[in-house]
Amino acid sequence: METITVRIRQDAERFTPQEEEALQWAGRVIKNGGLAAFPTETVYGLGGDALDRESSRKIYQAKGRPQDNPLIVHICRFEDLEKIVSRVPEEAVRIAEAFWPGPLTMILEKSERVPSETTGGLKTVAVRFPSHKAAQKIIEYAGGFVAAPSANTSGKPSPTLAKYVAEDLEGRIDMIVDGGQVGIGLESTIVDLTVSPPQILRPGYITKEMLGRVLGHVDTDAGSLGADSGQAPRAPGMKYRHYAPLGELVIVEGEADSAADYINRQTAADHMAGEKTGVIGSREYLDRYHADVIKCAGSREDEAGIAHSLYRILREFDDEGVTRIYSESFVCSGFGQAIMNRLLKAAGHRVVKL
Ligand code: AMP
Ligand code: MG
């Protein structure tokens, strides 16, 4: 299959006639049962018609995604929510008012209209209303309900640039809408509203504190946080190794000087053993490290910046053939929790505590 790529300006709020045509084209591809990747404010999504079981099958196939890992249905109007869920609880209205359109996904009981292929056999459905204007237009042109998991090969870091979508999916999907670099760089927060109190199944830009202010008490699924919990995560997708670079990644936790000493000893030994070594460090500590490739994740003070660059850095290590990667550990509160959640999964939970 030939994959057609069209370009639109990054983060455009209004579109030129050519861009409008491109978005319409992508919407039509999805409406006709094809797959089109497009930017959202979180990461690039791979869109297919969420109400068509054959389209959902195609998504799993293109990504090599396990069939029990359900898809998020993207909508472009709040009113459309009631068409795909059996009931809209009052909590859903409140968090939609606070955070939609935006990087928040809610889990609700599904209606008959959503095929079980889309929800990986579950009776619940994940729904998000993205704020990205081009994504909204594509969803509208596609008929209003677009299943759009991250547009990467299953297991790899989610794409933050169209070229990473092409690397993974060229020849396997109909179209890529290239809208430049995405804004947030990590996937949406997922909150399950079918349990009481509501539970965060995947941390993201919308933090537990932000949700708590609107909903009162909110729990975090213990299984989503780490291997130590001994509990299976409740979002099926969170159980798989994910976001992973090809090289082996280890997170080093400890005071800055001893962490740098440890990392430098390891990279020296690895280098001698013929490995190509890499380090992910913060701007504050970057000059302490020695390795073949050193990548700056940004300032420790700037979580948004770290989130923004994390997946790109992991992919660049692949491109540069790095086989052993060491990363600093970052703060684990607020939005930092989402960063550490992805980093831990990318590392397969290999953490050295000094
Ligand atoms: P992605 O779209 O690639 O960011 O992945 C979607 C994530 O949402 C995966 O971790 C899924 O397991 C999770 N998810 C989707 N639908 C549901 C659902 N009904 N219940 C729990 N988790 C879900
Ligand atoms: Mg994904």
pLDDT in tens, 122-139: 999 999 999 999 999 999
- Tell how far the Cα of 264 is from the centroid of ligand 1, in angstroms: 38
pTM exceeds 0.85: yes
**How far apart are the C-alpha atoms of 35 and 231, rounded to whole Å?**
35
Question: Using a 6 Å cutoff on CB, does residue 130 contact ligand 1?
Answer: no
pLDDT of 198 reads 97
Give yes or no for residue 107 CB within 6 A of ligand 1.
Answer: yes
Report the DSSP pairing between strands 146-147 and 72-74.
antiparallel
Tell me which of 42, 124, 190 to substitute to probe ligand 1's pocket, judged by most ligand atoms within 8 Å of the beta carbon. Answer: 190
Cα 250 to Cα 27, 73, 286, 294: the distances in Å are 41, 34, 17, 14
Contact 175, 58 (CB under 8 A): no
266 Cα to the center of ligand 2, angstroms: 31
The two tokens of residue 172 are: 């396997």
Assess whether pLDDT exceeds 60 at residue 151: yes
Structure tokens at 297: 């994740």
At residue 230, the pLDDT reads 64
Give the residue-averaged pLDDT of 280-297. Answer: 97
- Is the minimum distance from the CB of 221 to ligand 1 under 6 angstroms? no
The C-alpha torsion from 156 through 47 and 310 to 279, rounded to 10°, is 20
Are residues 204 and 101 in contact, defined by beta-carbon separation less than 8 angstroms? no
Mean pLDDT of the chain: 95
Distance 295 CA to ligand 1 centre (A): 30
In this predicted model, what pLDDT tens digit does every residue of 87-123 receive, in sequence order?
Answer: 999 999 999 999 999 999 999 999 999 999 999 999 9
- The pLDDT of residue 224 is 76
Instruction: Give the whole-number percent of the chain exceeding pLDDT 90.
Output: 91
Section 257-268 average pLDDT: 98
What is the C-alpha to C-alpha distance for residues 38 and 228, in angstroms, rounded to an integer? 36
The pLDDT tens digits of the residues spanning 19-50 come to 999 999 999 999 999 999 999 999 999 999 99
What pLDDT, on a 0 to 100 scale, did the predictor assign at position 250? 97
- Whether the pLDDT of residue 228 is over 60: the answer is no
Q: Is the Cβ atom of 85 under 6 angstroms away from ligand 1?
A: no
Query: Sign of the C-alpha dihedral, residues 280, 349, 305, 254?
Result: negative
Residues near 199 by Cβ (< 8 Å), separated by ≥ 6? Answer: 191, 192, 218, 219, 220, 221, 234
If phi > 0 it is left, if psi is from -120 to 50 it is alpha, else beta; for residue 230 that is: left
Q: Choose the residue to mutate in 35, 63, 71 for probing ligand 1, maximizing ligand atoms within 8 Å of C-beta.
A: 71
Q: Which of 172, 178, 163, 180 is nearest to 3 (CA)?
A: 172
Phi and psi at 328, nearest 5°, equal -60, 160
